[in-house]
């Protein structure tokens, strides 16, 4: 890929390279990388296809393109990912935020809206980059948010994101497994989680850009993939106000088993499907009548 090539020519060659390396979205990825190298948005590429980028831009684009051709995710190459309209820093220490997880945010916002609650106490377990809890802090300016994660490296990313979005004064961070590091007697209006839920037996079916780059600690769960979800369901009543909402992301084939975990103290259970039609979010209210 030589200097002196136009935007249109660079994109055409980049798309061909990525397609040759079996990248699923070669055109989109090439456009995202070149737009970032130019410090422009993607519409600029369509508006000015004949423009010739500088040698420095082309060199950076080539480096990024080489990494993507090796299946490294675009989000890790660029160091950030958009989620619910907000940009979050990511690193290989955290899962890349995905569109289906936005349903977790939408459920939480809808639950608060239905109850006229604008200052909820929110617990985000297995927070990773913090995208779920911090998005709620941004959408609900009076909310107080607590983030927990087993990984100190992940919490460092979440802290950076809280500071970047200027919500750090309303957010607390606890390092530990699920609830274990929380102060005694803590209660929340919402407990949210996107825990590891992929069964170990599914490793061979996963895409290379996920399996080789994203943190296995945040992907895989023991046994049938539900060991952490079981623990969350079991422990949440101790930490939830009444009524309080529990909402969790899960695997597409796990909804029946997750529903079966919710006993008599859980009311109004439900399942939310993602845009692909897969069961993705399980939720219920904790309310002992």
pLDDT band at 160 (very low <50, low <70, confident <90, very high): very high
- Residue list for the binding site for S-adenosyl-L-methionine: 149, 194
Residue ranges of the annotated binding site for substrate are 194-197
| Cβ neighbours for 187, distance < 8 A, ≥ 6 positions apart | 121, 239, 240, 241, 244
Determine the average pLDDT of the residues in 94-122.
97
CA distance 251 to 53: 43
Give dist(CA 92, CA 151) in Å, integer: 12
- Residue-wise DSSP of 115-143: TT-SS-EEEEES-TT-HHHHHHHHH-TT-
Rounded mean pLDDT of 14-35? 97
Encode pLDDT of 268-281 as tens digits.
999 999 999 999 99
Phi-psi map region of 223: left, alpha, beta (phi>0 left; psi -120 to 50 alpha): left
Q: Tell me which residue of 104, 107, 111 sits closest to 128, measured CA to CA.
A: 104
Confidence of residue 2 (pLDDT cuts 50, 70, 90): low
- Residue 195 DSSP class: -
DSSP state of 214: S
| Residue entry with tokens 């980049």 | 14
pLDDT, tens digit, 9 for 90 and up, residues 36-62: 999 999 999 999 999 999 999 999 999
Known binding positions: 149, 194-197
Supply the pLDDT for residue 204: 84
Q: What is the rounded distance in angstroms from the CA atom of residue 58 to the CA atom of residue 2?
A: 8
CATH topology for the 80-286 domain? Rossmann fold (3.40.50)
Query: What is the predicted pLDDT for the residue at 175?
Result: 98
Exposed e or buried b per residue across 239-278, where buried means at least 16 C-beta atoms within 10 angstroms of its C-beta: bbeeebbbbbbbbeebbebbbebbeeebeeeeebebeeee
Specify the pLDDT at position 18.
Answer: 97
């Amino acid at each position: 890929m030589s200097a002196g090539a136009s935007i249109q020519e660079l994109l055409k060659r980049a798309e061909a390279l990525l397609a040759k390396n079996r990248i699923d979205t070669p055109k989109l990825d090439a456009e995202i990388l070149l737009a970032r190298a130019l410090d422009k948005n993607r519409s600029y590429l369509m508006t000015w296809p004949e423009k010739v980028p500088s040698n420095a831009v082309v060199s950076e684009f080539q480096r990024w393109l080489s990494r993507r051709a090796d299946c490294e995710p675009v989000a890790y190459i660029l160091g950030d990912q958009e989620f619910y309209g907000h940009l979050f820093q990511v690193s290989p220490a955290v899962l890349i935020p995905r569109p289906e997880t936005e349903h977790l945010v939408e459920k939480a916002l809808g639950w608060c809206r239905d109850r006229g609650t604008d200052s909820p106490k929110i617990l985000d377990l297995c927070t990773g980059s913090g995208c779920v809890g911090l998005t709620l802090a941004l959408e609900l300016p009076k909310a107080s948010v607590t983030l927990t994660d087993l990984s100190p490296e992940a919490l460092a990313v979440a802290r950076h994101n809280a500071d970047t979005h200027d919500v750090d004064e309303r957010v607390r961070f606890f390092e530990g497994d699920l609830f274990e590091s929380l102060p005694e007697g803590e209660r929340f209006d919402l407990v949210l989680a996107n825990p590891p839920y992929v069964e170990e037996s599914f490793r061979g079916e996963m895409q290379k850009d996920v399996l080789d780059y994203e943190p296995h600690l945040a992907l895989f769960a023991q046994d049938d993939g539900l060991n952490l979800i079981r623990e969350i369901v079991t422990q949440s009543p101790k930490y939830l106000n009444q009524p309080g909402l529990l909402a969790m992301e899960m695997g597409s084939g796990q909804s029946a088993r997750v529903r079966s975990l919710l006993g008599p103290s859980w009311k109004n259970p439900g399942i939310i499907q993602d845009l692909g039609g897969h069961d993705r979010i399980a939720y219920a209210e904790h309310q002992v009548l």
